[in-house]
Amino acid sequence: MAATKPISPRRLLYVVSEDYAFLLHRLPMARAARDAGFEVHVATNVNKRASEIEAEGFVLHPIQFRRGGLSPFGAIPTALAIRRIVGEIRPHVVHHVGLQCSVLGSAAALGVHTKKQADLRELLVLAPFTIIGLAVGVTLLVRLPRDATLLALGVFVCGYALYITLHRGPRRPLGRVWAAPAGLCSGVLGALFGTGGPPYVAYIAGRIPDPTTQRATISLMVVLNVGLRVVAFAVAGLFNARELWVAIGVLLPVAWLGVWTGNRVHLRLAPAMVARIVGTVLLLSGASLIARAL
Cα distance between residue 221 and residue 219, in whole Å: 5
In a domain, 114, yes or no: no
Task: Between 110 and 2, name the one with better pLDDT.
Answer: 110
The amino acid at residue 24 is L
Residues 156, 174: contact at Cβ < 8 Å?
A: no
Using alpha carbons only, give the angle 39, 99, 79 rounded to the nearest 5 degrees.
65
Residue by residue, what is the 3-state secondary structure of 207-271? HCCCHHHHHHHHHHHHHHHHHHHHHHHHHCCCCCCHHHHHHHHHHHHHHHHHHHHHHHHHHHCCH
Lowest model confidence (mean pLDDT) among 211-215, 269-273, 281-285: 269-273
More confident of the two residues 42 and 109: 42
The CATH number covering residue 18 comes to 3.40.50.80
The answer on 202 and 60 residing in a single domain is no
Task: For residues 43 and 170, state if they share a domain.
Answer: no
Of 36-50, 85-99, 110-124, 182-196, the range with the lowest mean pLDDT is: 110-124
* Average pLDDT rounded to a whole number, residues 54-79: 76
In a domain, 192, yes or no: yes
Residue 139 one-letter amino acid: T
Q: What is the C-alpha separation between 85 and 11, in angstroms, rounded?
A: 12
Q: How confident is the model at residue 83 (pLDDT cuts 50, 70, 90)?
A: confident
Whether 22 shows a pLDDT value over 80: the answer reads: yes
Identify whether residues 138 and 36 lie together within a single domain.
no
Distance CA 153, CA 33 (A): 53
**3 inside domain:** no
Amino acid at 267: L
Query: Can you tell me the distance from the alpha carbon of 165 to that of 212, in angstroms, rounded to the nearest whole number?
Result: 18
Q: In three state form, how does the secondary structure of 127-164 look?
A: HHHHHHHHHHHHHHCCCCCHHHHHHHHHHHHHHHHHHH
Q: Quick check: is 77 in a domain?
A: yes
Mean pLDDT of 83-88: 85
Distances (CA, A) of 119 to 87, 113, 116, 182: 20, 13, 8, 16
- Range in 1-15, 126-140, 180-194 with the lowest mean pLDDT: 1-15
How does pLDDT run across 49-61, given as a tens digit for each residue? Answer: 888 889 989 999 9
Per-residue pLDDT tens for 175-206?
Answer: 788 888 888 888 777 776 666 677 777 788 78
Q: Is residue 288 part of a domain?
A: yes
Residue 39: which H helix or E strand, with range? strand 39-44
Q: Does residue 176 contact residue 187 with C-beta atoms inside 8 Å? A: no
Q: In what order do the strands lie in the sheet with 39-44?
A: 59-62, 39-44, 11-16, 93-96
Q: State the DSSP code for 178.
A: G
Residue 199 falls within a domain, yes or no? yes
Structural domain including 287 reads 120-293
Count of positions (residues) in the chain: 294
Q: Are residues 68 and 87 in the same domain?
A: yes
On whether both 124 and 104 belong to a single domain, the answer is no
Number of other CB atoms surrounding residue 63 within 10 Å: 20
Together in a domain, 162 and 263: yes
